[in-house]
């Protein structure tokens, strides 16, 4: 029997890494889910196990075009999130962030639906404040190769808060820090997936610079828990809200851990540091702790074991080889 609190929920980017996990969680919580994706970086493979669920619906659509559906809540996750993908077509990346936000906000306004924006720690740029609290305004290069994503997401946040102020729209804005787990794209250029694929193939693990730059890695289940809890908070809590793991590791430490956990014979090689690559990244999650009683529970080593098992099980070596080409 359907729960009386059940809602019809739209998840844009629902066939992507984070979106597929969110769809799964929402269905488990008893909601109807409309998954929307244009498959630029998402994949039907990520949600094929949900296709026969009676409360799951899939729609192929690009949110740079208006969408006319009836829902109670919207999670706006649609946008390529790794440098390899968002720099492939930077103009389209900006359009997805900005026009996509306008279209989803317009839909939410018509329906008076609560809407959550998946923003990013990239709005902080290469930070000169560490760790990064939500009131830090960032250090972003507006003309660099990462700006299509960084500035697109910053503009999307502006639109969300202006719709809230001008139209009283119930919004939630989360800033996602590095997240990893099963269903990551093997060729997305992110450090966790790069290292795992390289280690499983016995190829050298590529670090940039001397590997001393730091990142904080949040397991996907912890992030999704934060999403759901924040969406359910009272309307006056709009964010922005950092969601991520405050545990901080150097890139070289991560490489060493992946090699050990995969029992790989891979070596580590260094290449020049890309332009505007942040030297350090760690969230201040004091607000999330206080508001949501939330903090990550999955330790990096345990999360890596689960992610490695996914890559090893779900992708045979030939598929990994093709993905890495």
Start-to-end C-alpha separation, the chain? 48
- Name residues whose C-beta falls within 8 Å of residue 83's C-beta, 6 or more positions apart in sequence: 145, 146, 149, 189, 274
Q: Which of 149, 163, 180, 219 is catalytic?
A: 149
Look up 149 and say whether it is catalytic: yes
Main-chain phi, psi angles of 252, to 5 degrees: -65, -40
Residue 204: CB partners within 8 Å, gap ≥ 6?
A: 198, 266, 267, 268, 269
Mention every residue, 6+ apart, whose C-beta is less than 8 A from residue 7.
31, 32, 71, 72, 73
Identify which of 208, 324, 229, 212 has the alpha carbon closest to the alpha carbon of residue 273: 208
User: Catalytic residues, which ones?
Assistant: 149
């Amino acid at each position: 029997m359907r729960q009386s609190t059940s809602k019809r929920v739209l998840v844009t980017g629902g066939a992507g890494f984070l979106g597929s996990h969110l769809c799964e969680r929402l269905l488990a919580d008893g909601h109807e889910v409309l998954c929307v994706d244009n498959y630029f970086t998402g994949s039907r493979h990520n949600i094929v196990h949900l296709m026969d669920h009676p409360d799951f619906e899939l729609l192929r659509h690009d949110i740079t075009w208006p969408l006319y559906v009836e829902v109670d809540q919207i999670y706006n996750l649609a946008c390529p999130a790794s440098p390899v993908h968002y720099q492939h077509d930077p103009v389209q990346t900006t359009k997805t962030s900005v026009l996509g936000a306008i279209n989803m906000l317009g839909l939410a306004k018509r329906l008076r639906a609560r809407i959550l924006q998946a923003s990013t720690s990239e709005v902080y740029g290469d930070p000169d404040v560490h760790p990064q609290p939500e009131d830090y305004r960032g250090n972003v290069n507006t003309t660099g190769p990462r700006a299509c994503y960084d500035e697109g997401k910053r503009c999307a946040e502006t639109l969300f808060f202006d719709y809230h102020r001008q139209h009283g729209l119930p919004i939630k804005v989360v800033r996602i820090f590095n997240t990893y787990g099963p269903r990551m794209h093997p060729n997305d250029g992110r450090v966790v997936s790069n290292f795992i694929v390289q280690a499983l193939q016995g190829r050298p693990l590529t670090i940039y610079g001397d590997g001393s730059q730091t990142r904080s890695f949040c397991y996907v289940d912890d992030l999704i828990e934060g999403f759901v809890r924040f969406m359910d908070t009272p309307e006056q809590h709009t964010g922005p809200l950092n969601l991520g793991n405050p545990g901080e590791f150097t890139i070289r430490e991560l490489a060493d851990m992946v090699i050990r956990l995969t029992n790989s014979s891979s070596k580590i090689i260094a290449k020049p540091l890309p332009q505007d690559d942040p030297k350090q990244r760690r969230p201040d999650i004091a607000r999330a702790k206080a508001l949501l009683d939330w903090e990550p529970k999955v330790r990096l080593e345990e999360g890596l074991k689960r992610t490695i098992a996914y890559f090893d099980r779900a992708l045979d070596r030939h598929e990994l080889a093709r993905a890495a080409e």
